Amino acid sequence: ATEIRLASRPHGVPTLENFEIADVEIPVPGEGQILVRNQVLSVDPYMRGRMSSAKSYAEPYEVGKVMHGGAVGEVLESTVDDFQPGDIVLHGLGWRSHAVVDAKHAVKVDPEAAPITAYLGVLGMTGLTAYAGLLDVAEFKEGDTVFVSGAAGAVGSVVGQLAKLKGAKRVIGSAGTDEKVKWLTDELGFDAAFNYKDAPVAEQLRAAAPEGIDVYFDNVGGEHLEAAIDSINLHGRMAICGMISVYNNTEPAAAPRNLASIIAKRFTMRGMLVGDHFALQPQFVKEVAPLVASGELKYSETIVDGIRNAPQAFLDLLGGANTGKMLVRV
Ligand code: NDP
């Protein structure tokens, strides 16, 4: 069996040196546990936070210990009646080829209903984040003009499409390459999109949304957040989901410098954590799974082969190599 450990804590942008790949014995399940052969692993931006020792909503990874994350795999052995060998399960012990999981922390998924990769993305954590963030946190309503940053990523691509499907007046997205921008407008039906590396975000957003925006779904923070504050309309709403532009900062970011306009414009900014919205999961799956099955809601996955490439896949995710969900096939 293979596992990926945190070798050292990164300072600034992480590198391969921060990871250790170890070959270990296949673990043996105890009472109440199952042995899972992982098939696909999730790498996610929040893991950057867990590589640091700073206190946050998720426990820091321990140096020298195997890392954690979402994974889907096949049950090889079980000591409980609820799971049988051959079952496919979703659980939180990724970053390893074989996992011993407490049965109460595993969820069976149906590989006939959707490809197993979808349970880590469009029908999983990132899809629920998009759904809860747009509908609950940003209180999206029909006729809103919506701007989403990180729009070609796992969360952002679902946010924009859901807004369109639910009657947004206009949906605008930003992303870091021209191919991604083209994908947003040509394939996903965004009304406008721009490459944030081409020109100042505020300028590009103003051009794309001449009448301003009602909802901003933030995946990026920094300059994007300032631009959204500039363009947001009276009583606009912001769901603050992620700020990937600052995750590798070694000094706290100063922006947004224009926050004082929150008074005149009376807009709201609400932080969110998907973990607070698990009660929405059944409603989310009921509504979104058919949209995915019918092709009305499209999704993309960037799949890297081989568990030994998981650290590089994570680094590439932070660098923007993915379109849609970044995953590792074990
Ligand atoms: P993505 O699939 O969006 O992957 C990350 C993307 O971020 C990259 O592809 C890259 O795309 C973009 N990016 C990287 N650096 C920068 C930068 N400096 N400026 C702008 N864009 C950058 O990841 P997810 O969809 O999984 O996550 C999106 C965001 O949502 C993250 O901030 C994450 O932390 C957050 N999140 C929050 C949750 C919560 O509960 N609050 C739950 C899940 C995710 P590009 O080529 O466009 O630069």
CATH of the domain at 160: 3.40.50.720
Neighbours of 114 (CB within 10 A): 17
N-to-C CA span, the chain:
11
Q: What is the mean pLDDT of each run of 10 residues along the chain (330 residues)?
A: 98 97 97 98 97 90 98 98 98 98 97 96 98 98 98 98 98 98 98 98 98 98 97 98 96 89 98 97 96 97 98 98 98
For residue 57, the model assigns a pLDDT of 85
ipTM: 0.99
Distance 222 CA to ligand 1 centre (A): 13
Enumerate residues 6+ apart whose C-beta is below 8 A from 158: 122, 126, 127, 130, 131, 288, 297, 299
Is residue 280 one of the residues assigned to a domain? no
Quote the mean pLDDT of the chain. 97
Residues 68 and 49: beta-carbon distance below 8 Å:
no
| 13-46 per-position pLDDT tens digit | 999 999 999 999 999 999 999 999 999 999 999 9
Number of domains in the chain: 2
Distance 244 CA to ligand 1 centre (A): 5
State the closest ligand 1 atom to the C-alpha of 321, by its place in the atom list counted from 1. Answer: 9
State the closest ligand 1 atom to the C-alpha of 222, by its place in the atom list counted from 1. Answer: 19
**Claim to verify: residue 112 and residue 131 sit in the same structural domain:** no
Ligand 1 atom 43: residue of nearest CA: 126
Is residue 290 one of the residues assigned to a domain? no
Distance 220 CA to ligand 1 centre (A): 6
Is residue 284 one of the residues assigned to a domain? no
The CATH number that applies at residue 58 is 3.90.180.10
The reply to whether omega before 60 is within 30° of 0 (cis) is no
Task: Copy the structure tokens of residue 111.
Answer: 């590989």
Distance 81 CA to ligand 1 centre (A): 39
Enumerate residues 6+ apart whose C-beta is below 8 A from 180: 151, 152, 193, 195, 323
**Claim to verify: residue 148 and residue 110 sit in the same structural domain:** no
Residues 44 and 100: beta-carbon distance below 8 Å:
no
Is residue 103 one of the residues assigned to a domain? yes
Phi, psi of 52 (to 5 degrees): -90, 160
User: Taking Cα atoms as reference points, which of 117, 29, 105 lies closest to residue 72?
Assistant: 117
| 210-236 per-position pLDDT tens digit | 999 999 999 999 999 999 999 999 999
| 1-20 per-position pLDDT tens digit | 999 999 999 999 999 999 99
State the closest ligand 1 atom to the C-alpha of 174, by its place in the atom list counted from 1. Answer: 47
Residues with CB under 6 A from ligand 1: 44-46, 126, 129, 150, 152-156, 175-177, 180, 219-220, 241-242, 244-245, 272-274, 317-318, 320, 322, 326
